[in-house]
Every structure is written in C-alpha cells, then in structure tokens.
Amino acid sequence: MTRPIAILAVVACAVAAAVSGTSCTVHRRSPELQTCTFDIECDGICDRGYCVDASSQSQCPDPCTSCDLDEKTCRIDCDADHICGDLTCPPGFDCTIRCNAASCGDIQCALAKSCDIECSGAAACGDISCGTAPCDIGCSGPGACPSIDCTVSCRCDVSCNSSGAACPSMSCPIARGSIMRCTRQGTANCDSSPSGCDTCIDF
C-alpha cells in the first residue's frame, strides 16, 4: 500500500500547485549553517534561528567607508587612492570626514546629526555647509576649505592653519540674543565657547 499512497501524495501536490501557482519543493536548510537563539552564539548575527554573516544583512549608506548602523556613526576617508568628490553626510548620522589634498568636493551636513571634518593639504575640500548640525572643522593647506557656512549651526568650531590661505571665506553663527558673531577673539575662526554660541539659533 505504500506505493499507491506515495502516488496519491504526488498527485495531490501537483493539484495544489496548479491551483495556487506555486511548486512543490522540499526546503532544506544548508547543513553548514549553525543554529542559534541569540547573536552571542554567532560570529555574525542570529537570524531566524541560524547564524549568518552580519555584513550580508546590512550595508553602510553612501558615502560612508565604514559605519556603525546601531550607533548611526559614519566615517568617510578620502585620499589620492579614494577620491570622494562631493559628499553628503547621511541624515541623522554622526559623520567623521577625513580629506587629504584635493580628494573631496563640496561637503554637506545639513541633515546630519553632527560633522567632524578634517581637510588636510592644498584644495583638500570644496565648500562646507553645516546646516543646523554641530560642526568641528580643521583646515590646513592653501585653499583647504575655500568656503565654510556655519551661519545656522548650533555649534561650530573651526581651526585654520594660516587662516587666510586655508579658509578664505567663513560665515559663523550669531550668538543667541546678540549681534555678535561666534568667533575666536582676534580671529575670524568660528568658536562655540563665547556665551550664546553653543545652542541652536532660530531664524
């Protein structure tokens, strides 16, 4: 009786497949996959009871060269071997951006949570716009930061070596309740330490 029962099972499967548009196949888990309950049991992560490579589950957003998606941090490294061109920090991320000579174009942090930017070498970066995000910017080399716009940044600190050459054009925030620009005494560099310069400004 075993053979007729097997034949009936195959016929039943064929009928069900014709009605539903699906096929009758046997799904087997790959034997090399390790079973798990928690991430700690795996080199990667535990996904539906099996260990899988974490990198196959997520990718860093452009233009991050490395990131932590849980912490929403993004690092962007640009140099002669990795020319980045124009960059936009992904929305809601804390971005660390490192640009060597002529490796970066314009940098946009308008939707970022924060930006920490270093432009090192001649023409390392293009125009930098912080939006309302806090920005820490370091510039060294002729024309390293040709234009910095921190006008509406809630906290902006800029360090320029040979300020006129590295940062020829800079717009800093205005201290809350004042007409004073948030600049370091005796320089045009943006500085968040004066009173009213470390909180977001409403326009």
Of the candidate ranges 41-50, 84-93, 106-115, the one whose mean pLDDT is the lowest:
41-50
Tens digits of residue pLDDT in 95-137: 999 999 899 999 999 999 999 999 999 999 999 999 998 999 9
Return the percentage of the chain with pLDDT > 90, whole number. 56
Q: Report the C-alpha gap between 66 and 87 in whole angstroms.
A: 14
Mean pLDDT of the chain: 81
The yes-or-no verdict on residue 24 having pLDDT over 60 is no
Residues 6+ apart with CB under 8 A from 25: none
Among 157, 162, 155, 111, residue whose Cα is nearest residue 138: 157
Residue 49's SS3 state is coil
pLDDT score of 157: 96
Whole-angstrom distance between the N-terminal and C-terminal Cα of the chain?
85
Q: Report the C-alpha gap between 188 and 203 in whole angstroms.
A: 22
Residue 50's SS3 state is strand
Single pTM value for the model: 0.70
Among 127, 111, 130, 108, residue whose Cα is nearest residue 168: 127
- Please tell me which residue, 166 or 39, carries the higher pLDDT value: 166
| H or E segment to which residue 10 belongs | helix 2-20
Confidence of residue 52 (pLDDT cuts 50, 70, 90): low
Of the candidate ranges 34-43, 53-62, 67-76, 174-183, the one whose mean pLDDT is the lowest:
53-62
